[in-house]
Structure 1
């Protein structure tokens, strides 16, 4: 299952955007209002939970300076990734698109598609005002 957020244009350089997203503690600023828990576990890993959902641990798996950051599930029963693709528009603007990718059975995919779509859309929307 692959889901994409709408592309957002930020009034930040690609480098500033990359640096912001590279620091996992900044993801707390991007979370939806219904977050019930957020905890930084180490420099590359954080845990979060949304009301009514299980806790999820994400770990930074890959970072390509100023263009891409990949977060992946760290343990748990589900294997998935959340990728932020950063594109430089000019020296003071960048575009960001989030992509969620995971292998799920049909029943699980049907149950989580709506909430995950809304979640990545909220993350990308909140980027505009987070920094």
Structure 2
């Protein structure tokens, strides 16, 4: 299992961060360059990852103000789970950690590690911008 993760601190309460992340329509604002053909609803998103694949994702599990798990709605080229973990701090700031866990064979690891790492870094950085 390959793990890609990034954590940021956001100057918003956990409820605001959670509400933003539980609407997949908002995730378009979090995507890096190279993501095309975006389509979404409240619970699903589909898009092309440049030179890798087309993904259709859906929200699988939500724990209010704590976490959101997202899984593929169609069989992807590799098994994966995306998870946002939200932790409220005492001073109305929130830690948000985004993790992608992916089952990658050696060839896929070589091809996909860079883009997946870029994806987690971009999504957390763009979350800070979107909620500023």
TM-score (normalizing by structure 1) = 0.91
Partner of 1:70: 69
Quick check: 1:108 aligned with 2:108? yes
Aligned residues: 129
Task: Give the Cα separation in 2 of the matches to 1:11 and 1:43.
Answer: 24
Distance verdict in 2 for CA 1:102–1:52, change over 3 Å: closer
Partner of 2:24: 24
Quick check: 1:4 aligned with 2:8? no
List per-residue Cα deviations over 1:53-98 (Å, max 9, x = no partner).
3211111011111010011111133220110111101352100011
Partner of 1:46: 45
Partner of 1:36: 36
Q: Structure 1: which 5+ residue stretches go unaligned? A: none
Task: Give the Cα separation in 2 of the matches to 1:93 and 1:76.
Answer: 37
8 Å Cα contact 2:22-2:42 kept in structure 1: no
Task: Give the Cα separation in 2 of the matches to 1:60 and 1:71.
Answer: 4
Please report how far the alpha carbon of residue 34 of structure 1 lies from its aligned counterpart in structure 2 after TM superposition: 2.9
Larger CA deviation: 9-18 vs 31-40? 31-40
Query: Cα RMSD (Å) of the superposition?
Result: 1.4
Q: Structure 2: which 5+ residue stretches go unaligned? A: none
8 Å Cα contact 2:9-2:95 kept in structure 1: yes
Task: Give the Cα separation in 2 of the matches to 1:18 and 1:91.
Answer: 17
TM-score (normalizing by structure 2) = 0.90
8 Å Cα contact 2:45-2:56 kept in structure 1: yes
Partner of 1:120: 120
Task: Give the Cα separation in 1 of the matches to 2:114 and 2:126.
Answer: 18
8 Å Cα contact 1:37-1:50 kept in structure 2: no
